[in-house]
Amino acid sequence: MPKSRRRTAVIAISVLVAVAIAGAVALIFLNRPPVAAPPSAPSVKTATVRKGDLSNTRSIPGTLGFGAQRPIKGTGAGTITKLPAIGDVAKMGKPLYWVDDRPVPVFFGATPLFRKLEAPGTKGSDVAVVMDNLAQLGYQVGRRPNDDTKAEFTTTVSDALKRWQKKSGLAETGTLDVGQILVLDAPARVASVQAQPGSTVTEALFTVTPEARVVTLSVGVGDAGALKAGTPVAVARPDAKEVPAKVTTVSHAAPSENGPSNQQKLDVVVVPDNPADVADLDSAPVQVKIITESRTGVLVVPVEALIALREGGYALQLPSGQLQAVQTGMYAQNKVEVTGAGVTEGLEVVIAS
């Protein structure tokens, strides 16, 4: 082979080898796994110190209904000729039952009619009841003293009574005798009927309950805490909806001779603020939520923000890593009250992730 041809062949082979080597190197680089990025610093979870209210509650089982039944007996003389139906509501000035075919209307007050009112100048708390009801029914009765015992049966009261009797279909006498009205202490609903037409009026006639639905519950004397009339509570319905309510009565039990006083029970009555909130329920088990402890307008953080110190006590960690010593107060619903130098509303703190 001539010398020039050998040189050309060597060059061609060299080029092919170089191309092959370059391709292999490129293939190696293309198939090499990517280099991992250096790890970033871990992020921290933070929360803000806020001002708010804390409260702890306790749930006590109760029963929603119309409350305890109270028996009603008639007064005076005569035979029952008509009785109310269960569910009937006593209304001021309207009859609830009939005696000898005469209607017996309802008045509201604290003192039942215990004598016949006919002589001008008669004074007493029963006169006050008559004056109050006639006035609320729209009749002029004259001046009513603040002291019930000084309320006077005057000709003005008698005239008002006569006008009311006429409008109500009663004998227009201007006087009022025992048994001619039924005095109840508050609006009521008929819960059951015991008497029958033909019974004497002095027998047990029927029972009544409060007109509005109430919640009744029994609470141990030792667990009642500060429960008293007017205490706000929440009533949890069977559907878990909570409605605001208030305690209206707390009946204190006498100490037991057979056990410690904290085993005694208190009968508590709770009334919803808005009767419409429970109007769809006649009777149902409920839970009454009572506030046992509360704090208002305090600085709070999540409990997870607290760091227990080796020397005792707690601190909050700032995002910079600095520890801020705090004093803890009330705990409630995964939050805690905190105070301390430098602890202010809006302070950002680290919480455990």
Q: What CATH number is associated with residue 216?
A: 2.40.30.170
Cβ 205 vs Cβ 190: under 8 Å: no
pLDDT at 41 over 70: no
Q: d(Cα 237, Cα 217) in Å, to the nearest integer?
A: 14
Same domain, 286 and 182: no
Instruction: Give the residue from 293, 321, 339 where a domain finishes.
Output: 293
C-alpha distances (whole Å) from 139 to each of 43, 64, 208, 234, 287 are 79, 38, 28, 41, 45
Number of structural domains (the chain) is 3
Q: Is residue 256 part of a domain?
A: yes
pTM: 0.62
Rounded to whole angstroms, the Cα distance separating 104 from 196 reads 16
15-37 average pLDDT score: 50
Over residues 267-325, the pLDDT tens digits come to 899 999 999 999 999 889 999 999 888 899 999 999 999 999 999 999 999 999 999 99
Looking at the fold, whether 177 and 120 belong to one and the same domain comes out as yes
Over residues 261-273, the pLDDT tens digits come to 556 788 899 999 9
Same domain as 224, residue 250 = yes
Question: Which domain-ending residue is among 210, 227, 255?
Answer: 210
Verify that 226 and 320 share a domain, yes or no: no
Residues 205 and 82: beta-carbon distance below 8 Å:
no
At 57-94, the pLDDT tens digits run: 889 999 999 988 999 999 999 999 999 999 999 999 99
| Residue 44 binned pLDDT confidence (cut-offs 50, 70, 90) | confident
For 286, the domain range is 58-66+212-293
Q: Which of 165, 191, 210 is the last residue of a domain?
A: 210
User: Are 83 and 206 part of one and the same domain?
Assistant: yes
